[in-house]
Structure 1
Amino acid sequence: MGAYHRPEDLDRVLRLLAARAVAPLAGGTDLFPADAARNAWGEPALDTPEGADLLDLSGLSVLRRIEDTGDRVEIGALVTWTDALDAPLPPWFDAVRQAAREVGGMQIQNRGTLAGNLCNASPAA
């Protein structure tokens, strides 16, 4: 990996994404194990350019929120499984709560994000 960036505002994140090759990091529960992994063809498991900078998103509190607007529920990209368990979600989110209890151990639930699991699409998640 290249340089490490931990911006605290979304504008800086967008500028970094536009300017260079970066590997976004939220919870990191899949990124770090996959960094050393190889697929069946011997290629790196991560689809990240060699030497890409690491873009740590954990400083963006605006992305770690769950908000019920009345007609929809917005779940930020940094919301962890524990956040989902603790949030006052409407009853139609019971499946999300159930999934949150089943994903990994407490450490994974505290670091892993719902969005990261959706993006990674790991069968283990």
Structure 2
Amino acid sequence: MIDSIARWRHYFIRIRTNLKAPAQVDYFRPNSLAEALMFAERGGMRIAAGCTDLFPATQQQRLPGPILDITGIQALRGVSRTGNSYRIGATTTWTDIVRADLPPAFDALKQAALEVGAVQIQNSGTVAGNLCNASPAADGVPPLLALDASVELQSNRGVRSLPLGDFLTGVRQTALQPGEI
């Protein structure tokens, strides 16, 4: 028993000494879209909302460049109806989708929202994050494609809208241009 404790302690210490010191990363959390666009215009920013994929990825590598956290921008969160269409904000979580008063045409999206990870992930993971990761396994993409969704991209140069199928250009690749949110 004592021998196995000594071995465990040695193993534990060896693991701890192999850990890398965390890198220093610039982190920006604006409260308005105008402020976020100002930071995005600087270039090289990694836009983050729920961070459900960003932070787990740091197990293999360091955080990529400065982080622009858009979760503080209330104008980007929620579901609203405008005329004959619905608008889903970039920081709208999967839990927000499940709770939203949406017509039956959105049932597949609500079901996909329930399939996104555990409840903790649904509470912080965002629809836009799911799209911008451009993962082939993204739960939200099929129902949004079926709904003929488009993506609104904004920069200091203006706003442009792309069909979701055109926004997703490949595995982990999108049509998001520098300076756009």
Fold shared per TM-score above 0.5: yes
The counterpart of 2:58, out of the listed 7, 14, 35, is 35
1:102 matched to which residue of 2?
A: 115
SS at match of 2:55: helix
SS at match of 1:104: coil
Cα RMSD between the aligned structures?
Answer: 1.8
The one-letter amino acid of 2:34's match is D
2:127 matched to which residue of 1?
A: 114
Cα distance in structure 1, aligned partners of 2:138 and 2:44: 27
Please say if residues 47 and 67 of structure 2, whose CA atoms lie closer than 8 Å, have aligned partners that are also in contact: yes
Matches within 5 A, 1:1-125: 2-37=25-60, 48=64, 52-122=65-135, 123=137, 125=139
Cα distance in structure 2, aligned partners of 1:124 and 1:92: 19
The alpha carbon displacement at 1:37 in A equals: 2.7
Using structure 1 for the length normalisation, give the TM-score. 0.83
SS at match of 1:82: helix
Cα distance in structure 2, aligned partners of 1:86 and 1:118: 20
Cα distance in structure 2, aligned partners of 1:119 and 1:3: 21
Cα distance in structure 1, aligned partners of 2:39 and 2:88: 23
Cα distance in structure 1, aligned partners of 2:134 and 2:86: 22
Cα distance in structure 2, aligned partners of 1:124 and 1:67: 23
Q: Percent identity?
A: 49
The one-letter amino acid of 1:17's match is A
Over 3 Å counting, the alpha-carbon distance change for 1:84 and 1:124 in structure 2 is closer
Cα distance in structure 2, aligned partners of 1:114 and 1:85: 12
Higher strand share: 2
Number of equivalences: 115
The alpha carbon displacement at 1:2 in A equals: 2.7
1:41 matched to which residue of 2?
A: none
